Amino acid sequence: MNDGARDPRARTMSARRARALGLALLAALGVLGAGLLALAARAGAPVWPAGAFAALAVVALALSARRPSPAAARPLAFGAESAILAELRRGDLVRAAAASRGEGLPAELAAAVAGATAALARVADEVREANVATASTADGVARITADLASGSAELSASVVEITAAMEELARTAAEIAGRAATQAELAARAEGRGVTGASALADAVSGVAEVKARIGAIAARTDALGARTKEIGRVLDLIEEIAQETHVLSLNAAIEAAAAGEGGRRIAVVAEEVRHLASRSRDSVASVRALLDEFAGAIRGTVVATEEGSKETERVLERARRAAAAIGDLREVASETAERARRISGATREQNVASDEVVATLRDVGRVVQRASQALEGLDGTAARIERQVLSLELLTQGLRRDSPRSLKHLSEEWAAQLRDLPHQELQRELDRLFAASPSLDCAYFVDAKGYTLALSARRPVAGPGLPSEAEVLGRDLSGRPWFTAAARSGRACLTSPYASVLGGRVCWSVAVPIAGPDGALAGVLGLDVEAHGWTRT
Amino acid sequence: MSAASYLLFRRGGGLWGVASDEVVRVAPHAAGLAVEAGATAFAADEVVGVVAGLAVRPLPLFVRRFWSEPGAGLALHAGEPLMIVDPRQPPPPFLSPPEASGGTPDV
Amino acid sequence: MDLSQSTPALGRSHLLVRAGEQVCALPVAAVRRVVRALSVHPLPGARPELAGLAEFAGEALAVLDLSRLLGAPLGPHPAFPVTVVVWAGPLERREAVGLAADEALEVVLIDDAAVVPGAGFLRGDAMVGARLVRVLDLERLGEDA
């Protein structure tokens, strides 16, 4: 190339081209920058992407600031420049770099493009890696949150249990206290009755003693009567004696009178009268003696009765004394019971107070746990937000095709190149081989131009109970699917938006790349499914 | 017979007398005494004494009717009746050893 | 007791005494005295009818147990036993003898005609009031001894 013979028009064109490139770069960086800002807002986000970003921004500004130089004039490789721009716009750094290596581009432009695309690619990779770290962190947070949540749930449950138990305890203690109070009252009443009983008993005892004294008096009088009776008996004996003598005397008189014949008649009469007198005396004596015997019998009876009465009163006294002793014991027991009841009352009151304190503390704990749970829920939300950010950043980086196994667009383009010319029967085998080498993918499938599945590789069963049958999956017409139509239309790898997989509802997205046949027409579409959670952590 | 004096002794609840001339001696015998007179020894519980001037009557009909032992007569001393016994014809009951005092009739 | 009979009352007067459960009639003519039971001193070896010897009016006399003489069953314990001093035995040799009885009752008149004859000492039986009495013949007392 002839530097001196530079066409000013070429220089102007190169300056214009540089500016356009710089602007395009800025656009790409602007998209990345948003993501980097979001990343920088997270703690632990690596610092250097910001530096790289800044450096690239400077380069971009420099490029865009270059004014068109009239001295420079070079013939435009217009097709190559627009191709680079187009590829850059599309985010396809690989094609952009390839285009820059094509002919007709000034060396420094080509170098700048190469450098910029390489830097972009690096930035994208670094952003992705940082994203992965963030995703792991988010996972960690989610795990901890889950642990905390379950822990706090357990704690809540325990608090509820303990609270219930404490309340139960408090109720039981209250019951015990109540019963103790009743006992104390009963004991107090028993004590009172004991006192009454004791005084009533004392009265009874003194009454019995009085009876005993009276019985003693009766016994004494009875003895006196007995003695008098004996005296009377002796007098009666004497009278009887006299009567008998008189009787015998009368008989002798009668005998003499009989011997005296007529002269003894008057004596005989007198004798007879005397005999009668004696007889009456003896009869009287007999009556009196009978009465006396009765009386003596009665006296003896009285004596026996009074002796019995005396014994009985003794027995009553003894029983009364025993009852007094029993009442004394009862009073002691009652007073002991009352004392114990009072102590129980006191103890249960103390326990009540303690229980109340515990219950109050537990309620506080419960409230704290509840607040923690609410905070955790918030945290859970945060984890979900982080997850969403991670997904967004990932999709963002996936928007740039770059030469990396982590760039799905690149991966799919590479696979497409390998599958392009294979006959249909070898497609499955080749697809399986490629799929096995990429464990991070969820599913890969090759559909023909009409949208019928020709090959399918998947990590999870796609057919079975609850799932579509194999026949349904293979041979189904997928030409209406958005990824099919997008790929077919754009002619290059496309990303779908995230969606919920039919197989388990997990967040997935797909990359679809059209495959052109030898004649350039659409031969088929290769699709790769990625499961968001797993992909963002590899 | 009527001797000048008689030795009186008690035996089996009754009072008895033997002519003091006939009495040889009075000696202790077993639980009581023995009044030895002639060849006889009368068992005695107690010796009352020697009494003179006893009016001895012959045994009444009814004593003889109901008491077959030989008795010398009846007398009275200090208001108490007593039987006079003859040592030559001692009533066997009086000769029994002191343990067996013969069929004392109960009245 | 009716003493205004034409028949000499003495011959018909009898003293009724109880010996054991038996009431006897003793002819008053033979009765010397009724006294409170005399203290009797037993004669060892005597038959049971002979209670023993007693003193009466300065004499020693035999006392016979009337209930045993009669063979009468023993009666209730006598409250005031008596000894009836009688003249007994053959008239020419009658002696004073005491009859121990449980009770001396009364003097009554008994007609000979009322006496149902017995034998010997037991002259016979007669009804006196509601009582059946044994009339004794004291002259023949101890005849079958």
- pLDDT tens string, chain B, 107 residues long: the values are 567 889 999 887 888 888 888 888 888 887 788 888 877 888 888 889 898 888 888 888 888 888 887 777 888 888 889 888 888 877 776 664 544 444 444 44
Quote the pLDDT of residue A396. Answer: 80
Average pLDDT over residues A199-212: 74
Detail the DSSP E strand segments found in C5-143: 13-19, 22-27, 31-36, 50-56, 59-65, 82-88, 95-101, 103-109, 116-119, 122-128, 131-136
Residue A9 in this model has a pLDDT that exceeds 60: no
Residue C7 in this model has a pLDDT that exceeds 50: no
Quote the pLDDT of residue A73. Answer: 46
How far, in Å, CA of A128 to CA of A154, rounded?
A: 38
* CA of C100 vs chain B CAs: smallest distance (Å): 9
- Element (DSSP H or E) covering residue C72: none
Measured from the Cβ of residue A369, the count of other Cβ atoms closer than 10 Å reads 21
pLDDT higher at B83 or A194: B83
Confidence class of residue C102 from pLDDT cuts 50, 70 and 90?
very high
Least confident of A378-382, A507-511, B80-84: A378-382
Residue C45 and residue B14: Cβ atoms within 8 Å? no
The two tokens of residue C76 are 């209730």
Residue A262 in this model has a pLDDT that exceeds 50: yes
Residue C53 and residue B14: Cβ atoms within 8 Å? yes
Query: What is the domain partition of chain A in residue ranges?
Result: 165-366, 405-538
DSSP 3-state of B70: coil
Instruction: Give residue-wise pLDDT tens across range A80-125.
Output: 567 788 888 888 888 888 887 776 677 887 788 788 888 888 878 8
Average pLDDT over residues A467-482: 71
Q: According to the CATH classification, is domain A405-538 in 3.30.70.20?
A: no
Chain C residue numbers with beta carbons less than 8 Å from the beta carbon of B81 are 41, 53-55, 60-61
Confidence class of residue A53 from pLDDT cuts 50, 70 and 90?
low
Of B12, B62, B91, the CB nearest to C95: B62
How far, in Å, CA of B70 to CA of B42, rounded?
A: 14
Nearest residue in chain A measured CA to CA from C26: A255
> How many Cβ pairs within 8 Å bridge chains A and C?
54
Least confident of A270-274, A377-381, C3-7: C3-7
A165-366 maps to which CATH number? Answer: 1.10.287.950
Place of tokens 């109050």: A360
Average pLDDT over residues C23-29: 93
Confidence class of residue C24 from pLDDT cuts 50, 70 and 90?
very high
Least confident of A71-85, A92-106, C70-84, C116-130: A71-85
**Given phi > 0 = left and psi -120 to 50 = alpha, else beta, which region is B42?**
beta
Contacts of A210 (CB under 8 A, 6+ apart): none
CA neighbor of A104 nearest in space, from A86, A84, A78, A82: A78
Residue C61 and residue B82: Cβ atoms within 8 Å? no
- Cα separations (Å) of A520 from A276, A480, A491, B87, B93? 189, 21, 11, 201, 190
> Which of C101-119 are b and which e, b meaning 16 or more Cβ less than 10 Å from the residue's Cβ?
bbbbbbbbbbeeeebeeee
- R_g over Cα of chain A: 67
Quote the pLDDT of residue C145. Answer: 47
Chain C residue numbers with beta carbons less than 8 Å from the beta carbon of A252 are 33-34
Of C40, C44, C88, the CB nearest to B107: C40
pLDDT higher at A224 or C50: C50
Instruction: Give residue-wise pLDDT tens across range A412-443.
Output: 999 988 888 888 888 888 988 998 988 888 88
Instruction: Give residue-wise pLDDT tens across range A445-474.
Output: 888 888 888 888 887 766 556 656 666 667
Decide if A38 contacts A393 (C-beta within 8 A): yes
CA neighbor of B63 nearest in space, from C102, C98, C85: C98
Quote the pLDDT of residue C8. Answer: 55
The two tokens of residue B60 are 């009444």
Decide if A526 contacts A428 (C-beta within 8 A): no
Asked if A248 has any chain C CB less than 8 Å from its own CB, the reply is yes
pLDDT higher at A14 or A251: A251
Residue A8 in this model has a pLDDT that exceeds 70: no
Quote the pLDDT of residue C15. Answer: 95
Asked if B53 has any chain C CB less than 8 Å from its own CB, the reply is no
Chain C residue numbers with beta carbons less than 8 Å from the beta carbon of B44 are none
Share of chain A above pLDDT 70, in %: 77
Asked if A410 has any chain C CB less than 8 Å from its own CB, the reply is no
Average pLDDT over residues A286-291: 84
Of B65, B74, B92, the CB nearest to C53: B74
Burial of A25 (0-12, 13-18, 19+ CB in 10 A): buried
Place of tokens 């632990």: A44
Quote the pLDDT of residue A259. Answer: 83
Chain C residue numbers with beta carbons less than 8 Å from the beta carbon of B79 are 55
How far, in Å, CA of B91 to CA of A280, rounded?
A: 50
Domains and CATH numbers, chain C: 12-140 (2.40.50.180)
Query: Would you give the DSSP letter of residue C93?
Result: G
Confidence class of residue A526 from pLDDT cuts 50, 70 and 90?
very high
Residue B107 and residue C88: Cβ atoms within 8 Å? no
Residue A43 in this model has a pLDDT that exceeds 60: no
pLDDT higher at A215 or B51: B51
Asked if C130 has any chain A CB less than 8 Å from its own CB, the reply is no
Quote the pLDDT of residue C97. Answer: 95
Chains that touch B (3 or more CB pairs under 8 A): C
**Cα A144-A150-A153 angle, rounded to 5 deg:** 135
How far, in Å, CA of A435 to CA of A109, rounded?
A: 38
